[in-house]
Structure 1
Amino acid sequence: MSDKKIWPLFALGLITGGFWQAAGAQIEVSGYYKNLLVSSRTLGFPAFLPATDYTVDLNRLHLELRGDLGENTVFNLQYDNEIFLGDYLKTKQFQAQKNIPLDTYLNLRSTYTDKQSVFGRHGFYRAYLDTRIGNADLRIGRQRVAWGSALFWSPVDILNPIDPTALERDRRTGVDAVVLDADYSDLSRVSVLYAVHASPVRASTAVRWRTNKYGYDWGVTAGRFRNDDMAGVDLAGQIGKIGVRSELTRTKSPVDGFYTRFVLGADYTFLNTLTINGEFYFNGQGATDTSAYDFSRLLSGEIQSLAQRYLGLYLGYDITPLIKWKNYYINNLDDKSFFYAPEISYAITQNNELALGIQIYSGITGSEYGSFENMLYAQWQLFF
């Protein structure tokens, strides 16, 4: 790690330590241990050949430390230690993907063992200070900036974009940023953001305004996000008992030119716990012809979808208070391929959960979801 990237870590440590001693901060420690066992097949792209069946076992220890640093300042540190086991480590696909750098300024993750039988890495998942100044919150460090409200796709949430087929949907890389949230009324806020990046041209500067009028949350966002200029609006609210949401953005990109993205969604929960959530997504950045698909950008995480028109559906149901059934379905309306992911989870105890699931990809050769392999997984998670 270069000197320019390591000094903020020392600064964060000094600030945390100084306030802690001065204020006698009380630290809250929480976290989880996760074991995720996956069975699948490597992808058929030339760089990953020969295609082969594999298993991989992820073991993650996640620790979160929170504390008060004086009357108006808190800190949050989240540390991950991950060990990967299995024959997936011997594949070309893993060798390529493990070296993809995070799209951040600070490199807060490092590898401590890299063998064909075991791969281990650790680092900070989140690390930030949050200070209350009058009617404003100032947050500095590696953080999640959540500006969208959609489930499958969020045009507004461009700093931490949603991967609609991610196995761990709640995991987002985060950004190294300074964010000021200023409340000028009970229901209105202006946010200003600056996110640094290892490549200066990919730094982000943005402003967001949101308020609540007529029973709806309204938002307007504008700025430069990495290398793109974007402006957008969003709203979320209720029509009777049906939740509704919408996001619309217009982007100018040096790579993709001008394009529009929007999402329309609705959800409803029945008295018997059955939840239905649907979204339509238009992605002007995408292509309508499979020959124009750029899988390299998709696999690197630069983009999250290849085509232009999608339908996403979520169905959830509590079979019992301890057993939950979840279903995610995505249809690429342009190439007719689809993704389906059912999962059933069981709460063994209050802090101990087991989940079993499958991800099914289907489509013709060259289609988006037809180019990926089915996946079986079992997950055990212990919270503390």
Structure 2
Amino acid sequence: MATAVVAGLVFASTPSTAQPQPLALSGSLKSVYLRSRASTGEDYALSLNRLRVEAKGDLAPGLALDLQYDNEVLLGSYLGTAEFRAAKDRVAPQYWRADANYVERGDVYGRHRLYRAAVTLTRGEIDLKLGRQRIAWGTGRFWSPLDMLNPVNPLALEREERVGVDAALFEAKLGPLSRASLVYAPAPDRGSPSRAVQWHGNASGVDTSLVAGRLLGLDIVGMDLATQIGDAGIRGEVARLRPRGGPAFNRLMVGADYALANGLTLSAELYYNGAGSRDPAGYDIAGLGSGRVTNLATRYTGLYAAYEITPLLKWVTYVVVNGDDRSRAVDSRLAWSWRSDLELVIGLQRFSGTESSEYARMPNAAFAQLQWFY
């Protein structure tokens, strides 16, 4: 009902005057090879091969399409582990079921899905986007108290891959640097839908956002700030969250970014997670395995460094430290732009800590990735 009312407001507004962009096909072919160890202690190999086809552009004046289809083939001994059997049967977090497997035989597993599937209706200064999309709220590189619908995972092997949410997003531009947004996302299990409003503006060089609503079963009130102090970028987010029938808690992130003239870029973030535990005995391991929980403890530090060795060769490292149990995670990789349409990445992930700590339970990994863009 609310979506229909918003759609009516969009179509009643002044037609868009933006220059139409013709529908274009593009995409990529990616192959990732991973060596690691399962929770049972057995070594495994995994080859993930993904063809992504993208169709983007205007179907008509004021009507844009973003469609991204994935076809994946997984190969290797990982398919025989209990971890993979549990992961492949896990229900997708989206409302619409837009994925399926088409082959499952020994060390071969094939599946396909809609990674993005959304249309945007534009009338004047008003946009209405419907379908599977990324709703990028917040400013965090490692953690984001506000980006709950498409959360950040600082240790994801494919950091650029962000699970989309099936939602209606209504945005009204209020000025050159300000806007108001309204999101509605039905729950996949017929539970409480996510619905929230955001106001974003800029004053005296400071970007500010205010968020209020209910996201993933949590009432939320929060804000973020981003500004420049000298040559450094300063960011921050704070949120007050309350589960229905449970105690409220806070999440807080403070970050800084600095780029040196020699090609070195540095970032740092401090994160407080009021829903976590300072004692490893109280960690929500079951929630971590189900995907409901992304961090177990309360205090974290994230460090990022990137250096352009040459215009075509880049070194990137992420370091995450759990401030409660002192465990650490390091992700370091080299990215070589072999050609303008071809990129090779090789990297290592290493985890350390005491036996009961958060990151000590995660296996080390070595990986290589080749991606061709067309």
> Do both share a fold (TM > 0.5)?
yes
* CA 1:88–1:153: 2 relative to 1, 3 Å: same
The answer to whether the aligner puts 1:270 opposite 2:255 as a matched pair is: no
Alignment partner of 1:271: what SS? coil
Report runs of 4+ in structure 1 exceeding 3 Å deviation. Answer: none
The Cα of 1:134 is off from its aligned counterpart by 2.1
Distance 2:300 2:362 in 1: 17
Matched to 2:107, the amino acid is: S
Matched to 1:209, the amino acid is: W
Q: Following superposition of structure 1 onto structure 2, how do residues 231-242 of structure 1 map, counting pairs within 5 Å?
A: 231-242=221-232
Distance 1:78 1:40 in 2: 29
Q: Is the 8 A contact 2:284 2:293 kept in 1?
A: no
The TM-score with structure 2 as length reference comes to 0.93
Q: Is the 8 A contact 1:72 1:131 kept in 2?
A: yes
- 1:42 corresponding residue in structure 2: 38
Matched to 2:43, the amino acid is: D
Runs of 5+ in structure 2 lacking a partner? Answer: 1-19
- 1:168 corresponding residue in structure 2: 158
Matched to 2:367, the amino acid is: Y
The TM-score with structure 1 as length reference comes to 0.91
Distance 1:302 1:30 in 2: 33
* CA 1:267–1:255: 2 relative to 1, 3 Å: farther
The answer to whether the aligner puts 1:362 opposite 2:352 as a matched pair is: yes
Alignment partner of 2:49: what SS? strand
Q: Following superposition of structure 1 onto structure 2, how do residues 72-87 of structure 1 map, counting pairs within 5 Å?
A: 72-87=62-77
Q: Is the 8 A contact 1:221 1:232 kept in 2?
A: yes
Q: Is the 8 A contact 2:315 2:334 kept in 1?
A: yes
**One of 99, 118, 132 as aligned partner of 1:109:** 99
The Cα of 1:67 is off from its aligned counterpart by 2.5
Q: Deviations over 1:107-139 (max 9, x none)?
A: 111110112210110010000001112211110
The Cα of 1:91 is off from its aligned counterpart by 0.7
The answer to whether the aligner puts 1:30 opposite 2:26 as a matched pair is: yes
Distance 1:219 1:208 in 2: 7
The answer to whether the aligner puts 1:66 opposite 2:51 as a matched pair is: no
Distance 2:214 2:231 in 1: 37
Distance 2:35 2:280 in 1: 28
The Cα of 1:173 is off from its aligned counterpart by 1.2
Matched to 1:29, the amino acid is: L
* CA 1:379–1:292: 2 relative to 1, 3 Å: same
Distance 2:83 2:62 in 1: 47
The Cα of 1:71 is off from its aligned counterpart by 1.2
Alignment partner of 1:80: what SS? strand
Q: Following superposition of structure 1 onto structure 2, how do residues 231-380 of structure 1 map, counting pairs within 5 Å?
A: 231-254=221-244, 257-380=247-370
> Identity percentage over the alignment?
41
Distance 1:75 1:35 in 2: 27
Distance 1:354 1:25 in 2: 31
Matched to 2:34, the amino acid is: V
The Cα of 1:211 is off from its aligned counterpart by 0.1
